[in-house]
Amino acid sequence: MTRRLYTVPLPGGASLRLGERCLVMGVLNVTPDSFAESPHIQDPDAAAAAALRMEAEGADLIDLGGESTRPGAKPVTADEELARVMPVLARLRGRLSIPLSIDTYKAEVARAAVAAGAAIVNDVSGLRHDPALAAAAAGTGAALVVMHSRGRPDTMQAEAAYEDAIREVADEIARGIAAATAAGVPLERVIADPGLGFAKLAAHSYGVLARLPALAAALDRPLLVGPSRKSFMRAALGDRPPAARDWGTAAAVAAAVLGGAHIVRVHNVDAMVQVVRVAEAIRSAE
């Protein structure tokens, strides 16, 4: 299957070339309650060192988050989120040579993070939580990830009801993309994320992974897929803690690459870079 090529403009005249190979986005959560890391990285120096280590391991992008969005998580204020991410951004400026994404749904955090060096805004709410975020992204020149979800982290699993998951996910992402462009974000700056595990039962997440080509065709935007260590894997693996789901993550990452994902978002960069490279070799042999 051919993966469409996209050039996504970034601030400062840079750009992200997507589609020649699947890129690896390393997850850097600086929260006290992230579901997938133990121990949690809260010290800014340790967090910056982790980002540089992921770059050395082969990450193409880093996604920095200061608020947990796991199911059941409670929101934090913009001030608290900024207090977590800004010291890390300050330590990475001029040291990290790959683009950095800020994982936030708050306009205030997005503006400050891009001013401090972030190049991408990754909104897990699909522009539903903060109406000002789209305009903030437009004003900064950052690329924007529009992810599919419903509700809030503490309510989203109650909204996991679909008649046709791919069609509904595509339609709801398309509405987020329309809101972004209406606020001034150029379409070429937009990346779509189907939101595995967000407002989805395990069967929905597996179904989305199995039908990524249909989603890509419906949206005509580059796809970011984040299966890493998520709880939907319990349906296949049993009740393992997140850090023990890396083999399951490897299978999901390989499926995402073979299905045409442009970016995969992962915690264990070193291992998943190997998975992506082998899956890409299989794709190229088709």
Cβ-proximal residues to 92 (8 Å cutoff; 6+ apart), any chain: 48, 51, 52, 100, 117
Cβ-proximal residues to 26 (8 Å cutoff; 6+ apart), any chain: 51, 54, 55, 57, 59, 61, 62, 63, 266, 267, 269
Can you list the positions of beta strands (E) in the chain? 6-9, 15-18, 23-29, 61-65, 100-103, 120-123, 143-147, 190-193, 224-225, 263-266
With b meaning 16 or more CB within 10 Å and e meaning fewer, what string describes 160-178?
A: bebeebbeebbebbbebbe
Angle formed at CA 221 by CA 219 and CA 223, multiple of 5 degrees: 100
State the Cα–Cα distance between residues 86 and 101, nearest whole angstrom. 13
Q: Write down the catalytic residue from 128, 189, 245, 265.
A: 265
Instruction: Give me Rg for the CA atoms of the chain.
Output: 17
Beta 100-103 vs 120-123: how paired, if at all?
parallel
What residues form DSSP beta bridges with 49?
none
Residue 230 a catalytic site member? yes
265: tokens are 């978002």
Q: Which helix (DSSP H) or strand (DSSP E) does residue 45 occupy?
A: helix 44-56
Residue 265 a catalytic site member? yes
Q: Write down the catalytic residue from 106, 230, 234, 283.
A: 230
Amino acid letter at 98? I
What residues form DSSP beta bridges with 78?
none
Question: Where in the sequence numbering do the catalytic residues fall?
Answer: 230, 265
